[in-house]
Each structure stands twice: as C-alpha cells, then as structure tokens.
C-alpha cells in the first residue's frame, strides 16, 4: 500500500468514527450460525427500544440474505441520497432502518466478493445520515468469519454484542465460538438470548421443548456471560414476519412480546450499569 492509499484509509476511518460518534450505544447482534432468529431478535430489539421512547437505528449488514426489509414491511423501499449520504428509511418517528437489501434492489442472488463486502460495510457505516441516535442495532452476518470480523473491526467503539442462540447443543457450541470471538476482539458480550425455546401448545396449553430448553442459559453460566432471557417458538412471529408486520409493534400485548420487552429492560440495565 502506498502513502496516498494509507492517507485515504485514515481519512475514511476518521469520517466513519465521526459519523458513529453521534450514536450513544452501538449494539452488534451476532449468532453462531444462520437461521436461529438473529434478524428477528435485531428487529424486535430495535422496535422495543423505539417503543420505549429512544431514538433508534437498525442497520442490516447480513450478506446472507438481508431479511430486515421483509420483517419490517419495508420491501421495495428506496434509499434516498442527501448531500452525498444515504438517508435511512423511517419506520416510525423513533426508528430508522437501512438494509443491504434496500441498496441491492435485484431479487437475484448477489455474488459478493471479499473487497466488495468490506466496501459495502464501510459505506453503510460512514456514508449514512443517522443523525443523533440513542441506539444503533446491527444485524450482523452470522458466524465468526471475515464478515462479522470486518463489522467488529470497523465499529471500533461498539458498546457490545448480544448473541442469539437456539437451545440445542449444536447451536450452543457455535455460540461458544461467537463468545470467544468477542473476547479475542475485546468486544464486551452484553448477554445471550435463547430463541425458539419451548413451544406452548395453543390447544392443550402444555409446553413442548422442541429444540430442548435451557441450553443457552447453562452455556452462558458456564462461560460467565449474562443471560438475557428466552423467547419461545411462536407461530405468530413467523406469520407476522412473512406479512411484514413487525412482531412487538403489532402484537405488543402478547406474552412473547412481553418476553422481548423484559429482555430489553435487562439489556438496558446492563448497558447503563456498565457505563457508570
């Protein structure tokens, strides 16, 4: 790399940090692998914080299928440009959303090569007009490979990570790696959420532990990280997500939405406790 390239990179990093410094708390949502509900948790976390009166941004940098536009009912929404910056889409007065899926309008699979991914992540951190926010929630790429690594390395002063798992051992063993990944990168683990934990049968009322239960909780204890709570398997979540009706927003009174809210309460307590 020559001197000019070095200078360009340093200037880019300064711009990026300037932009992110206007955000009080930056939370990365991670998972050991795909399909455990990371995007669902990211969206409902952002919504719950916004419903509590905070100014929130939700940034979807999951290359494997950016699902936030669909989950939030924002499919097909275009991102505007203002003064050379991307303007996130307003979901509500308190919640702004930007997803890779909004920047790549084609429904065809996009073949992202390494440097393109890095460039796209950088642009979504540096060239977005978030304004002043209380929280920015990152729906990060799953796993512990180059993609989440780029996100963690670029968001230098992140508040911490929330790790999503399902209860069975196959998933919790991947999550152990996610926690070690955070430790190696000096990213505080704010806590673990166990998703798809038990199913309450609507007919008989009995709880069935389809993917077992408690795996995330015992793993958290063992690894000495906070456990933030469990979310059950909830058929309404699937239906609501498919219909683009964000769950806690439309079904706020349900027991599962209350679980989300209590997780958020714990998370906020943990963040504010760590700050003082």
Window 69 to 88, contacts with ligand ADP (CB under 6 A): none
Of 206, 204, 264, give the one whose Cα is nearest residue 231: 264
Q: How many CB atoms lie within 10 A of CB 29?
A: 25
Among 20, 39, 213, 249, binds ligand ADP (CB under 6 A): 39
| Site size with ligand ADP, rule: CB under 6 A | 17
CA 164: distance to chain centroid?
9
Residues whose CB is less than 8 angstroms from the CB of residue 212 and which lie 6 or more positions away in sequence, other chains included: 167, 168, 169
187 touches ligand ADP by CB under 6 A: no
Distance in Å from the first CA to the final CA of the chain: 41
137 touches ligand ADP by CB under 6 A: no
Cβ proximity to ligand ADP: between 55 and 195 the closer is: 195
Cβ proximity to ligand ADP: between 72 and 237 the closer is: 237
- CA distance to 4, 17, 21, 182, per residue, from 146 (Å): 26, 21, 24, 13
31 touches ligand ADP by CB under 6 A: yes
Q: Which stretch binds ligand ADP (CB under 6 A): 5-13, 18-26, 227-235, 257-265?
A: 227-235
154 touches ligand ADP by CB under 6 A: no
Residues that bind ligand ADP (CB under 6 A): 31, 34-40, 67, 195-196, 231, 233-234, 237-238, 241
């Amino acid at each position: 790399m020559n001197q000019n390239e070095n200078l360009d990179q340093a200037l880019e990093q300064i711009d990026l940090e300037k932009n992110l410094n206007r955000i009080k708390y930056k939370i990365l949502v991670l998972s050991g692998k795909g399909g455990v509900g990371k995007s669902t948790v990211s969206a409902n976390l952002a919504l719950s914080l916004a419903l509590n009166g905070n100014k929130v941004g939700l940034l979807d940098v999951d290359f494997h299928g950016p699902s936030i536009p669909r989950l939030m009912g924002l499919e097909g929404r275009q991102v505007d440009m203002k003064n050379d910056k991307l303007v996130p889409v307003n979901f509500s007065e308190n919640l702004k959303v930007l997803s890779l899926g909004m920047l790549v309008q084609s429904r065809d699979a996009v073949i992202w090569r390494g440097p393109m991914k890095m460039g796209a992540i950088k642009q979504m951190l540096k060239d977005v007009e978030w304004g002043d926010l209380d929280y920015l929630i990152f729906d990060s790429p799953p796993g512990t490979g180059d993609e989440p690594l780029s996100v963690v390395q670029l968001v230098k002063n992140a508040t911490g990570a929330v790790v999503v798992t399902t209860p069975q051992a196959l998933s919790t063993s991947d999550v152990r790696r996610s926690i070690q990944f955070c430790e190696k990168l000096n990213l505080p683990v704010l806590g673990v959420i166990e998703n798809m934990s038990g199913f309450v049968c609507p007919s008989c009322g009995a709880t069935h532990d389809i993917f077992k239960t408690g795996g995330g909780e015992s793993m958290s204890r063992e690894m000495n990280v906070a456990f933030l709570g469990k979310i059950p398997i909830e058929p309404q979540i699937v239906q609501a997500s498919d219909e683009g009706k964000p769950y806690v927003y439309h079904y706020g009174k349900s027991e599962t939405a209350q679980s989300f809210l209590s997780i958020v309460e714990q998370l906020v307590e943990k963040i504010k406790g760590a700050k003082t």
